[in-house]
Amino acid sequence: MKKETPNGNAAKDSSRYIHIGIFSAIAVILYYFWTVPYRAALSYREQLQLFQTTSTYFEELTARPGGPATYLGEFFTQFFNNFWIGAAVMTGLLISVMLISYLICNRFAPSAPKSTNLALSIIPLISLMLFLGNPDVTLTFVVALSISLAGSYLFTSIKAKPTTTVLSYSMMIAGTTLLYWLAGAVTIIFTFLITAYAFKANHKSIANKIIFATVSLICLAANVYIRSLFLPYPLSYQLIGIGYTMMPDRLDVWQIIVEALCVFVPILAALFAKLPKKITIPALISVEILAAIILYPKSYDKATYRLIDYDYMVRANDWEGILRYSDEHDPDLPLSVSATNLAAGMTGQLDCRAFDYYQHGTEGLIPPFAKETLSSWTTGEIFFQLGMVNSAQRFYFEGMEAIPNYNKSGRAVKRLAETAIIRGEYSLAKKYLSMLQNTIFYKKWAQRNLDLIKNPDNVKNHPLYGTLSRRMIDEQYLFSESELDKTLGQLFLKDSGNNLAKQYLILYPLLQRDLNKFAQYMGVIAEVQPKYNPLLAQQALAFISMKNGQPIPTNIVPPMVEQSLRNFAQAWTSKNPSLIEPHRRSLFYYLLSEE
Amino acid sequence: MKTYLYIFIFAILASCSKERPPHMAPSADSPDIFPDYTDVTIPAGIAPMNFNISGAGQVYVKVTGGIEGEMESFGEWADFNEKEWHLLTERNIGADLTFDVSVKDKNGHWKRYAPFVMHVSDIPLKDYGIVYRKIAPGYQTFSKTGIYQRELSSFEETAVLEETAVEGKCLNCHYSNRGRNDQFTLHIRGKNGGTILNSGSNLTYLNTKTPETAGNATYGYWHPDGRYIAFSVNKIVQNFYLDKEHNIEPWDVVSDIVVYDSETNRIITSPLVATPRCETTPAFSPDGKKIFFCLADSVSMPGDYRQLKYSLCSIDFDVKTESFGTRIDTLICADSIGKSISLPRPSYDGRFLMYNMTDHGTSPIHHADADLWIMDLSTGESRCLTEVNSDFSDAYHNWSPGGGWFLFNSKRRDGMYGNLYFSCIGTDGKATKPFMLPQRNPEQYYDEALHSFNAPDFITDKINLDMPHIRSMVKNNEIVNVSVKK
């Protein structure tokens, strides 16, 4: 046995501190990553589940292979409701993957420099982070990976000491069965790692090693097969891993890469053990940094994350935030355009600033129904704010039902409870609120609302529920996607204080380029609010007058608007693209262009 | 250390102790139990009628049979021992069970309530259980759906077929021949969709859409001989309301009636029931000689949706000639009552015809005013089943093959989620107060459930599907095209 010299101890201590420092630095980077640029991704994941602290929920999830990992994953995901805590949870889980990888590397290469093993253990973390760039990857996968790696580490720790063949096989069979239940498909990592570890042992014959590897694989296959007889899932779901992503039938190539790297990294540690760390560490770190830089933009798709950002702000009703975001990143998809229009409407700027942003026809004002969660919820939010509470209820319900892994949603159930309260369906509201009482983050809110609905007068006087209830159309009335403008008119006539409906009402025909209808709707508004004369109305009136060869009414249209129209007309008739370009974001350009 | 162990063991034992309330006279108050099982009539051998009492810390219930026997329950809710319960109900057929309930509140004070009774019917309910689809009461998107069966004498529920088993397909209603577990149809929608037909000897996967018919087979009803199935072929669309009171208005763009022959794999049609008018929800009479169905004149939809009213009609069907009759009989004319009728279901003994009545339309589960009505087939007289109806939708009724008992879906709890209720019709023709499908912990179950029990029916025995076969048929699209008899 080697004796440590005092200098050796000091070096070991300082190396330990350096390692702790590296872990801490990575943790800080991860925490920053999830709290600043990607906080919306946490909210996105949290809203696609409704973790409940009930026995039924526990029993339902833990009955399937990987179910306990799903239960724990969803338990952790609920903390994403608060991104400060959520980011800490996410960081903790990611660091645990790296730490266990590091410990396994130490098992495979005990004589290798610890710094090399540490540098290697960053590889699974980077690959996992790149996999997490797919927003549909759930924490189930991260938890399952940690469990499988922890099981492997435990096995290799026991095997590091002399064990009998019977004990080895017993541990392998029991470990595989237990891990398959706990973590699901990623148990394959355990199977490969313990096989690799068995091959590393010098005292066994090659035949013994092959038999052990074969039995390990058979044991895993037997677990999968036996489970498939009782599970209501196709075999492919089990092989991919139930609950690892929101898409139960799709296997992301990054999942295979992460799993493969978790196996190869300890093997690499054993291979690199004898290489000088002066070469391995810089080489590894260079490769890791290069891979992260090259692959990051592909994994974290900008367009996808912009939509997630919009959705996050819509959920938080952060209207000013949306407008700031849209000023920076030009919205051009139905979800982002409609979120921007909603934000502009909620801040009373839509009837002035609508064409400061790219417009997408009436679909950018109220997107049509799509069997997809985010767009359903954004449209649901528009309906909710407009006072079309039934439609809001429908779209939130549809959005929840469209969650691909059949989860329910805390965000949606909360809105469903609110729509039920507004509609006076208190028994239904109570059902939803009772469910939310079984959660950590919605519990207080649910209790407040349960208290509120005990007295319907309180609902009537509630600033949000009371207002929206009064805005709802009274008579039996069918929703028509093709006649939404008529509904907007009804909403305005029901409550002339419904500014959002009013702004949507005048914008709707303009987006259809239907100036006659616009004039008609302005007439309806003028009867109730004669002084209402927003910028869009002035521009439209000036445009109509010019188009019809009539003088622009200066009592309604200020000189600045008239001048801007004349400037546009001059540019448009010149057909010079560079002169037209400055007017591209204007009502005038929209009305004349076919874009 | 030992002391702590003893304290721990004592604490465990104390928490499990069966604490009886102190002796006290019952108050005049009735216990506020969920589900409301007071004065309901139950069949002997039904699963324990467990119930919760809101705000109770502990519940003690003593049940005394009118003929003989008694049992007790202690706990957070009334949770009866299954064996004792079955024994007690079997011994007291035709008599009352009296429930003496005492509740300990959170402050440790006991209160004894006025007793209530349940009546054990002398009409037996011998079916194994019930089958239903569990589906979120949504609109156009459906999360996980599945067909499930539930044993009536216990709380055991098993999946017949879940959506996840057939890779994300939407499962539609299950129709069996008088509750038989080996003769039924089940629709699968989506890519490679079709109709699973279990004809008793064969499992086949059918494409029921033909060039000559308007759509896929939708609402079905078996002929008693097990060879023919009457279907309506529907193309359904939905409209949505904006006012507080209403939600959805589904309606048929097209709907006709056909009869499918499972032996020749052909569809039998008739110009009388395949018209521009809407014919839907067929049901064979118990002797198989007649098909009851609903018929509405075409109106301009969706504008005139309030004028869409269905009459109750019938047409003869002759299995020997495999042909429909030559005239349609109108049993109840929608114009004369100003209402709309749907889902006719004759009792298997031929005594009654149960149906739904709403103000308009064809989908009673989406109408809060939907009520169950019953027609005495010997006199043709109808009456509203006021003794079972509620202020919300009561629909999707079906009869027990043994007679007397029926079940239906009702949204009475919250207006949105449909739950199952049971009632029976005695010799006097009156229906008993319906009871909700028992659950181990009813409040927890029904509060947490985010599904409706859709299209329920009785089954005489447990269904065992050959899952690998079904998966293979669906995945490989091993579909058999149905043709039309010329």
Mean pLDDT (whole number) for B340-345: 97
* B148: β partners: B132, B159
- Please answer yes or no on whether B143 and A394 come within 8 Å at the CB atom: no
- Based on the domain organization, do B151 and B103 belong to the same domain? no
Angstroms from A377 CA to nearest CA on chain B? 13
Other CB atoms within 10 Å distance of the CB of residue B315: 21
Mean pLDDT (whole number) for B50-67: 94
- Please answer yes or no on whether A390 and B302 come within 8 Å at the CB atom: no
Other CB atoms within 10 Å distance of the CB of residue A481: 12
Residue B486 lies in a domain: no
- Please answer yes or no on whether B414 and A388 come within 8 Å at the CB atom: no
Q: How many domains does chain B have?
A: 2
- Based on the domain organization, do B135 and B111 belong to the same domain? no
Other CB atoms within 10 Å distance of the CB of residue A285: 12
B165 close to A (CB below 8 A)? yes
Handedness of CA A87, A91, A92, A97 (dihedral sign): positive
Give the closest residue to A83 by CA, choosing from A94, A74, A75, A91.
Answer: A91
Strand locations in B349-438, DSSP E? 352-358, 371-376, 381-384, 394-399, 405-410, 419-424, 435-436
Closest residue on chain B to A50 (Cα): B448
Mean pLDDT (whole number) for A181-199: 95
Using 50, 70 and 90 to split pLDDT, how confident is the model at B23?
A: confident
* B419: β partners: B410
What pLDDT sits at residue B347?
96
Closest residue on chain B to A409 (Cα): B450
Closest residue on chain B to A433 (Cα): B447
What is the per-residue pLDDT across A236-272, written as a single tens digit (0 to 9) for each? 889 999 999 999 888 999 999 999 999 999 999 999 9
- Please answer yes or no on whether B136 and A401 come within 8 Å at the CB atom: yes
**Rounded-to-integer distance, Cα B134 and Cα A174, Å:** 37
**Rounded-to-integer distance, Cα B9 and Cα B3, Å:** 10
Amino acid, single-letter form, for residue B164: T
Closest residue on chain A to B248 (Cα): A478
Q: Which residues of B touch A469 (CB under 8 A)?
A: 244
Q: Name the more confident of B22 and B309.
A: B309
Residue B12 lies in a domain: no
CB A124 within 8 A of CB A262: yes
Which of A249, A371, A480 has the CB atom closest to B167's CB atom?
A249
Query: What CA–CA distances, in Å, run from A397 to A192, A338, B97, B138, B147?
Result: 43, 19, 42, 7, 21
- Based on the domain organization, do B299 and B279 belong to the same domain? yes
What pLDDT sits at residue A485?
93
What pLDDT sits at residue B302?
85
Which of B143, B448, B471 has the CB atom closest to A234's CB atom?
B471
A49 φ, ψ to 5°? -160, 165
Residue B79 lies in a domain: yes
- Please answer yes or no on whether A388 and B242 come within 8 Å at the CB atom: yes
Q: Which residues of A touch B167 (CB under 8 A)?
A: 234, 249
Mean pLDDT (whole number) for A190-201: 92
B6 close to A (CB below 8 A)? no
B302 close to A (CB below 8 A)? yes
Handedness of CA B384, B389, B393, B397 (dihedral sign): negative
Say if residue A4's pLDDT is above 50: no
- Please answer yes or no on whether A369 and B140 come within 8 Å at the CB atom: yes
Strand locations in A2-42, DSSP E? none
Of how many residues is chain B composed?
Answer: 486
Q: Is the bond preceding residue B271 a cis peptide, omega within 30 degrees? A: no
Query: What CA–CA distances, in Å, run from A146 to A185, B169, B473?
Result: 13, 33, 38
CB A24 within 8 A of CB A411: no
- Please answer yes or no on whether B164 and A232 come within 8 Å at the CB atom: yes
Q: Is A270 helix (H, G, I), strand (E, B) or coil?
A: helix
**Domain range annotation of chain A:** 6-300, 304-471, 533-595
Helix axes A67-77, A83-108, angle to 10 degrees: 140
B236 by Cβ neighbours in 10 Å (0-12 / 13-18 / 19+) ranks as middle
What is the per-residue pLDDT across B184-194, written as a single tens digit (0 to 9) for each? 999 888 777 88
B154: Cα separation from own chain's centroid: 17
Angstroms from B139 CA to nearest CA on chain A? 7
Give the closest residue to B267 by CA, choosing from B314, B315, B203, B220.
Answer: B220
A270: Cα separation from own chain's centroid: 38
| Cβ-defined contacts of A456-465 (< 8 Å, 24+) | A456/A424, A456/A426, A459/A421, A459/A422, A459/A424, A464/A418, A465/A418, A465/A421, A465/A422
Closest residue on chain A to B411 (Cα): A428
Angstroms from B262 CA to nearest CA on chain A? 28
Give the closest residue to A93 by CA, choosing from A150, A49, A43, A40.
Answer: A150
Helical segments of B172-302, H only: none
**Rounded-to-integer distance, Cα B61 and Cα B21, Å:** 10
Q: Which residues of B touch A425 (CB under 8 A)?
A: 414-416
Say if residue B370's pLDDT is above 70: yes
Q: Which residues of B touch A428 (CB under 8 A)?
A: 414-417
Q: Does 1.25.40 match the CATH number of domain A304-471?
A: yes
What pLDDT sits at residue A189?
97
- Based on the domain organization, do B193 and B68 belong to the same domain? no
Give the closest residue to B89 by CA, choosing from B40, B34, B32.
Answer: B40
- Based on the domain organization, do B85 and B147 belong to the same domain? no
- Please answer yes or no on whether A52 and B448 come within 8 Å at the CB atom: yes
- Please answer yes or no on whether B448 and A232 come within 8 Å at the CB atom: no
Which residues in A261-279 are b (16+ Cβ under 10 Å) and which e? bbbbbbbbbbebbeeebee
- Please answer yes or no on whether A403 and B471 come within 8 Å at the CB atom: no
Q: Across chain A, what does the average pLDDT equal?
A: 93
- Based on the domain organization, do B155 and B279 belong to the same domain? yes
Q: Which residues of A touch B239 (CB under 8 A)?
A: 478-480
Q: Is B200 helix (H, G, I), strand (E, B) or coil?
A: coil
Residues of chain B numbered 35-74 and touching chain A (CB < 8 Å): none
What is the per-residue pLDDT across A289-331, written as a single tens digit (0 to 9) for each? 999 999 999 999 999 999 999 999 999 999 999 999 999 999 9
What pLDDT sits at residue B202?
86
Domain finish residue from B120, B147, B182: B120
**Rounded-to-integer distance, Cα B413 and Cα B422, Å:** 15
Using 50, 70 and 90 to split pLDDT, how confident is the model at B163?
A: confident
What pLDDT sits at residue A8?
58
- Please answer yes or no on whether A54 and B444 come within 8 Å at the CB atom: yes
Say if residue B208's pLDDT is above 80: yes
What pLDDT sits at residue A476?
78
- Based on the domain organization, do B259 and B368 belong to the same domain? yes
A25 by Cβ neighbours in 10 Å (0-12 / 13-18 / 19+) ranks as exposed
Residues 6 or more apart whose Cβ sits within 8 Å of residue B448: A52, A54, A56, A57, A435, A438
Question: How do strand B41-42 and strand B116-120 relate by DSSP bridges?
Answer: parallel
Using 50, 70 and 90 to split pLDDT, how confident is the model at B1?
A: very low
What is the per-residue pLDDT across A349-370, written as a single tens digit (0 to 9) for each? 999 999 999 998 999 999 999 9
Say if residue A555's pLDDT is above 80: yes
- Based on the domain organization, do B349 and B219 belong to the same domain? yes
Say if residue A196's pLDDT is above 70: yes
Say if residue B320's pLDDT is above 80: yes
> Residue written as tokens 């801040």?
A347
Residue B2 lies in a domain: no
Q: What is the count of residue pairs from A and B with beta carbons less than 8 Å apart?
A: 118
- Please answer yes or no on whether B242 and A237 come within 8 Å at the CB atom: no
CB A360 within 8 A of CB A337: yes
DSSP A430-474: HHHHHHHHTSSSSHHHHHHHHHHTTSHHHHHT-TTHHHHHHHS--
Question: How do strand B290-296 and strand B278-284 relate by DSSP bridges?
Answer: antiparallel
CB B412 within 8 A of CB B428: no
What pLDDT sits at residue B4?
53
Query: Per the structure block, which two tokens stand in for B483?
Result: 């043709």
Query: What CA–CA distances, in Å, run from B155 to B80, B161, B406, B441, B468?
Result: 12, 18, 19, 10, 27
Region for B429 from its dihedrals, namely left if φ exceeds 0, alpha if ψ lies in -120 to 50, beta otherwise: left
Say if residue B110's pLDDT is above 80: yes
Residue B480 lies in a domain: no
Using 50, 70 and 90 to split pLDDT, how confident is the model at A12?
A: low
Query: What CA–CA distances, in Å, run from A527 to A207, A501, B144?
Result: 93, 16, 50
- Please answer yes or no on whether A476 and B246 come within 8 Å at the CB atom: yes
Q: What is the DSSP letter of B36?
A: -
DSSP A373-442: HHHHHHHHHHHHHHT-HHHHHHHHHHHHHT-TT----HHHHHHHHHHHHHTT-HHHHHHHHHHHHTSSSS
Residue B484 lies in a domain: no
Domain finish residue from B94, B120, B146: B120
Say if residue A535's pLDDT is above 80: yes
Angstroms from A478 CA to nearest CA on chain B? 4
Domain span at B99: 17-120
- Please answer yes or no on whether A476 and B239 come within 8 Å at the CB atom: no
What is the per-residue pLDDT across B422-431, written as a single tens digit (0 to 9) for each? 999 988 889 9
Which of A248, A389, A434 has the CB atom closest to B447's CB atom?
A434
What is the per-residue pLDDT across B380-417, written as a single tens digit (0 to 9) for each? 999 999 999 999 999 999 999 998 999 999 999 999 99
- Based on the domain organization, do B243 and B107 belong to the same domain? no
What pLDDT sits at residue A162?
72
B139 close to A (CB below 8 A)? yes
B158 close to A (CB below 8 A)? no
Longest Cα–Cα distance of chain B, Å, equals 90
Q: Across chain B, what does the average pLDDT equal?
A: 91
- Based on the domain organization, do B204 and B138 belong to the same domain? yes
Q: Which residues of A touch B143 (CB under 8 A)?
A: 400-403, 406, 408
Percent helix, strand, coil in chain B, to 5, is 10, 45, 45
Domain finish residue from B90, B120, B150: B120
Say if residue A572's pLDDT is above 50: yes
Which of A371, A428, A479 has the CB atom closest to B416's CB atom?
A428
Amino acid, single-letter form, for residue B20: R
What is the per-residue pLDDT across A474-514, written as a single tens digit (0 to 9) for each? 887 788 888 899 999 999 999 999 999 999 999 999 999 99
- Based on the domain organization, do B138 and B99 belong to the same domain? no
| B454: CATH | 2.120.10.30
Give the closest residue to A540 by CA, choosing from A491, A588, A473, A479.
Answer: A588
What pLDDT sits at residue B24?
87
To test the contact with chain B by mutation, choose from A64, A431, A437, A491 the residue with the greatest count of B C-beta atoms within 10 A, namely A431
Angstroms from A339 CA to nearest CA on chain B? 22
B10 close to A (CB below 8 A)? no
To test the contact with chain B by mutation, choose from A48, A228, A390 the residue with the greatest count of B C-beta atoms within 10 A, namely A390
Q: Which residues of B touch A479 (CB under 8 A)?
A: 239-242
B239 close to A (CB below 8 A)? yes
Using 50, 70 and 90 to split pLDDT, how confident is the model at B467?
A: confident
Using 50, 70 and 90 to split pLDDT, how confident is the model at A6?
A: low
pTM (2 d.p.): 0.92
What is the per-residue pLDDT across A70-122, written as a single tens digit (0 to 9) for each? 999 999 999 999 999 999 999 999 999 999 999 999 999 999 999 999 999 99
A88: Cα separation from own chain's centroid: 17
Residue B371 lies in a domain: yes
Q: What is the DSSP letter of B104?
A: E
CB A241 within 8 A of CB A66: yes
**Rounded-to-integer distance, Cα A449 and Cα A556, Å:** 47
- Please answer yes or no on whether A472 and B242 come within 8 Å at the CB atom: yes
Q: What percent of chain B has pLDDT over 90?
A: 73
Angstroms from A584 CA to nearest CA on chain B? 37
To test the contact with chain A by mutation, choose from B135, B147, B244, B245 the residue with the greatest count of A C-beta atoms within 10 A, namely B244
Using 50, 70 and 90 to split pLDDT, how confident is the model at A1?
A: very low
Say if residue B344's pLDDT is above 90: yes
What pLDDT sits at residue A2?
43
- Based on the domain organization, do B381 and B448 belong to the same domain? yes
Query: What CA–CA distances, in Å, run from B263 to A163, B130, B192, B202, B260?
Result: 66, 27, 23, 10, 9
| B104: CATH | 2.60.40
B12 close to A (CB below 8 A)? no
Residue A59, H or E segment: helix A55-62
- Please answer yes or no on whether A394 and B240 come within 8 Å at the CB atom: yes
Q: Which residues of A touch B448 (CB under 8 A)?
A: 52, 54, 56-57, 435, 438
